[in-house]
Amino acid sequence: MLQGGVREQMMRKIGLTLIELLIVISIIIILAALIFPVLALGRRKARDTNCISNLRNIGSALHIYAMDYNDNYPYAVDPTDRYTPNIWRTFFKNNPELAPKGITDASAWMQTMPLLHQVLYLYNKNKEIWLCQNDSGFNYMDINGAYLNARPTCYKKFGTSYIFRTEIAIRKMKVDTFDQGADINVVTDACGAWHTGEKIATQPNMVRVYAKTYRYNVLFSDLHVRTCTFDDLNKAWSTPLQKGMSPR
pLDDT 10s digits, 80-123: 999 999 999 999 988 999 998 889 899 999 999 999 999 999 99
- Alpha-carbon distance of 240 to 178, in angstroms, equals 9
E strand or H helix at 164: strand 162-164
- Alpha-carbon distance of 71 to 174, in angstroms, equals 5
pTM of the model: 0.81
pLDDT 10s digits, 27-62: 777 766 665 554 455 566 666 789 999 999 999 999
What average pLDDT does range 197-219 have in this prediction?
88
Q: How many CB atoms lie within 10 A of CB 10?
A: 10
- Alpha-carbon distance of 140 to 122, in angstroms, equals 31
- Say if CB 59 and CB 175 are below 8 A apart: no
What is the model's pLDDT at position 32? 62
- Alpha-carbon distance of 55 to 225, in angstroms, equals 7
Q: Give the N- to C-terminal CA distance of the chain in Å, as an integer.
A: 94
What is the model's pLDDT at position 19? 73
pLDDT at 17 over 90: no
Instruction: Judge residue 1's burial from the number of C-beta atoms within 10 Å of its C-beta, 0-12 exposed, 13-18 middle, 19 or more buried.
Output: exposed
What is the model's pLDDT at position 44? 60
pLDDT 10s digits, 60-81: 999 999 999 999 999 999 999 9
- Alpha-carbon distance of 89 to 86, in angstroms, equals 5
CA 36 vs. chain centroid, Å, equals 24
Tell me the residue length of the chain: 248
What percent of the chain is predicted at pLDDT more than 90? 63
What is the model's pLDDT at position 39? 47
Residue 203: pLDDT band (50, 70, 90) is: confident
What is the model's pLDDT at position 132? 97
- Of the CA atoms within 13 Å of residue 242, those in its CB half-sphere come to 10
pLDDT at 197 over 90: no
Instruction: Judge residue 176's burial from the number of C-beta atoms within 10 Å of its C-beta, 0-12 exposed, 13-18 middle, 19 or more buried.
Output: exposed
Judged by average pLDDT, the poorest of 181-195, 197-211, 220-234 is 197-211
